[in-house]
Amino acid sequence: MNMSYDKNVRLMKGNEALAEAAIRAEIDGYFGYPITPQSEILEYLSKNFNEEDGVVLQAESEIAAINMVFGAAGSGKRVMTSTSSPGMSLMLEGVSYIAAAQLPCLLVNISRGGPGLGTIQPSQADYFQSTKGGGHGDYRLIVLAPNSVQEMADFVFDAIYLAEKYRNPALILSDGTLGQMMEKVRLPEKGSLPKFIPDWAAKGKRKDKERNIILTSAVDPAVMENLNKELQKKYALLQSEVRYELNEIEDAQILIVAFGLSARICNKAQEIVKEKGVSVGLLRPITLYPFPSDTITKLSKKVQAILVVELNAGQMVEDVKLAVNGNCPVHFYGRMGGELPTPEEIYFELKKIIDEQSIEK
């Protein structure tokens, strides 16, 4: 995909940039239900989406919205929804069906503190839900985690592109802060995303063609196992789409692994620790599924310790530990429920590791 960008630099909220990018990615439909901290997406689209280009609809609930996405995606339309954590939980039955039906669509979770109704402040506690399926059955989502307003816009294009390439739902997992804050952004231009040809779409019976049928169930378990095998084959292929960002990894004694907003806060902690003479590198997974396991395995043989920082009780750290497989100690620091760590707190954790493991400056 060749992305071209506007010359103009704008100042936009993450949610608004994402919504504008959806218009520029030429979506045919958006179905959603308002929930803080992402309601601006629905608001922006209802104000700015040209009705001649498709439909923007506020459904009666998240459950209705995801099933509208299911139906529209099945008819070959480019469609999306957005919500925040509790709303995502409601949608998961439908998400599992869409994954089973192998339909492309864009899901957006501007997540907030949980569990339960939780808070409306930023959180990354939906990592498990996003990357391990979430709904029932053996399915995976393609998961992209932006860490800036620019990426909130860019990843709409990337996620739709991947969803259509693999006929699989793709999720943008962001958080309340990235949704609400304003930063400079250059928007991708309309036309950057090629229109796809859904020859599998269920659009009615044509005289010259067999009817397309989209199924998510089978009476015979052997048929269901074959569908599962097909899905697993697809997920294996997906591994080649892994994306991550490395920062100051040369000569790093300690490696931080963090995604999204936490990675931004860790960047600042890196600046502080640099003044103290210890070199700390940062790996930021951009795709949470597929996960950059191979790169983490390689780096774990070079560094003396790994610190995973998340806005949860420790979720991605499990995937990091699997990749590290005992090559070096893996530490964790997290804040929960919508609270954020300060760069100083992360620096303090790094200092503890330096002292405990007597890492030389």
Partner 1 sequence: MDKDHEIIFAGFGGQGILSMGKILAYAGLEEGYEVCWLPSYGPEMRGGTANCSVIISSKKISSPISTNYDCGILLNQPSMDKFESKIKPGGILLYETAEIIKVSERDDINILGLSAFEEAQKMEVKQVANMIILGALINNTCIVKIDSVLKALEDVLPQRHHHLIPINKKALLKGMEIAEKEVLN
Residues that bind partner 1 (CB under 8 A): 9, 11, 36-37, 119-121, 176-177, 180-184, 261, 264-265, 267-268, 270-271, 338, 340, 342-344
Here the contacts of 67-73 (C-beta below 8 Å, separation 24 or greater) are: 67/94, 68/29, 68/31, 69/29, 69/31, 69/94, 69/98, 69/105, 69/107, 70/94, 70/97, 70/98, 70/101, 70/103, 70/105, 72/28, 72/29, 72/31, 73/98, 73/101, 73/103, 73/104, 73/105
- Comparing CB distances to partner 1, the nearer of 182 and 223 is 182
- Comparing CB distances to partner 1, the nearer of 65 and 178 is 178
- Comparing CB distances to partner 1, the nearer of 165 and 268 is 268
Q: How far is the CB of 147 from partner 1 (least distance, A)?
A: 9
- Comparing CB distances to partner 1, the nearer of 329 and 337 is 337
Could you give the C-alpha distances from 338 to 22, 108, 114, 143, 238, in angstroms and in order?
27, 18, 8, 21, 32
- Comparing CB distances to partner 1, the nearer of 267 and 315 is 267
Could you give the C-alpha distances from 331 to 81, 126, 280, 298, 327, in angstroms and in order?
36, 20, 14, 17, 13
- Comparing CB distances to partner 1, the nearer of 83 and 177 is 177
- Comparing CB distances to partner 1, the nearer of 73 and 120 is 120
Q: How far is the CB of 185 from partner 1 (least distance, A)?
A: 11
Q: How far is the CB of 34 from partner 1 (least distance, A)?
A: 14
- Comparing CB distances to partner 1, the nearer of 225 and 271 is 271
Q: How far is the CB of 183 from partner 1 (least distance, A)?
A: 5
Q: How far is the CB of 178 from partner 1 (least distance, A)?
A: 8
Q: How far is the CB of 267 from partner 1 (least distance, A)?
A: 4
Q: How far is the CB of 10 from partner 1 (least distance, A)?
A: 8
Q: How far is the CB of 180 from partner 1 (least distance, A)?
A: 5
Q: How far is the CB of 351 from partner 1 (least distance, A)?
A: 17
- Comparing CB distances to partner 1, the nearer of 53 and 271 is 271
